[in-house]
Amino acid sequence: MIVVVMGVSGSGKTTVAALLAARLGWRYREGDDLHSSENVEKMRGGTPLTDADRLPWLQAIAREIDLWRTQGESGVLTCSALKRSYRDIIVSDRPEVALVYLKGAQDLITRRMAARHEHFMPTALLASQFATLQEPTPDERPIVVDVGGQPGQIADRIVRDLEFRSREGAAASRLRHGPQIS
């Protein structure tokens, strides 16, 4: 299984995803590390990225996911994945990829971003992220977690939800294929 932790900048993706990967003993990849230097400079300068800017980045994330899949590895990866069309690039046709949406109020996330240092994304771009955000819909089967809690609690909640999905999937498979005879 591969988990994509999504949400606007400042929602806690990096912190929660790193904790989640550590709790599960899975690989971890910070999706922002796959941005081109040009994209990072645009954002650092306060210029929102266009869909054309994001496409090579999303394709790089999809390649990373596919590499893990072919290697049979489980992992946790961060990506803002603000639009459905972005999620279609990185999640679509990959049934072993689970989407975790870190959801929070804009004022809470603005306060968190203002307290951060050493990150290329300025607080001024947060409004454009919320304007772009298309929350995942039920057909995407997201795990939606409110970011108001502590990162460890959020990671624990995601682990429980992933375990439930795993049991649910195993039960559904048994129903489809009948009991296994040894």
Domain range list for the chain: 2-177
Q: Going by DSSP bridges, is the β-strand pair 27-29/143-146 parallel, antiparallel, or unpaired?
A: unpaired
Edge-to-edge strands, sheet with 143-146: 27-29, 75-78, 2-6, 97-103, 143-146
Give the rounded percent of residues in the chain with a pLDDT score beyond 70. Answer: 86
Confidence category of residue 116, pLDDT binned at 50, 70, 90: low
Domain 2-177, CATH among 3.40.1010.10, 3.40.50.300, 3.30.230.10, 1.10.287.70:
3.40.50.300
Q: What does the pLDDT average to over 5-23?
A: 95
Whole-angstrom Cα distance, residue 110 to residue 77?
23
pLDDT digits (tens, 9 = 90+) for 75-89: 999 999 999 999 999
Burial 35-68 (b: 16+ CB within 10 A, else e): beeebeebbeeeeebeeebbeebbebbbebbeeb
Residue type, position 64, single letter: E
Q: What is the DSSP letter of 125?
A: G
Convert the pLDDT of each residue in 133-177 to its tens digit: 999 999 999 999 999 999 999 999 999 999 988 876 555 555 655
Query: pLDDT digit string (tens) for 38-71?
Result: 998 888 888 888 999 999 999 999 999 999 999 9
pLDDT at position 71? 96
**Greater model confidence, 22 or 128:** 22
Reported as a pLDDT band with limits 50, 70 and 90, residue 182 is very low
The closest of 70, 38, 68 to 52, measured between CA atoms, is 38
Torsion of CA 167, 172, 175, 178, to 10 degrees: -70
* Cβ atoms 76, 3 nearer than 8 A: yes
Cα 160–Cα 166–Cα 171 angle in degrees, nearest 5: 125
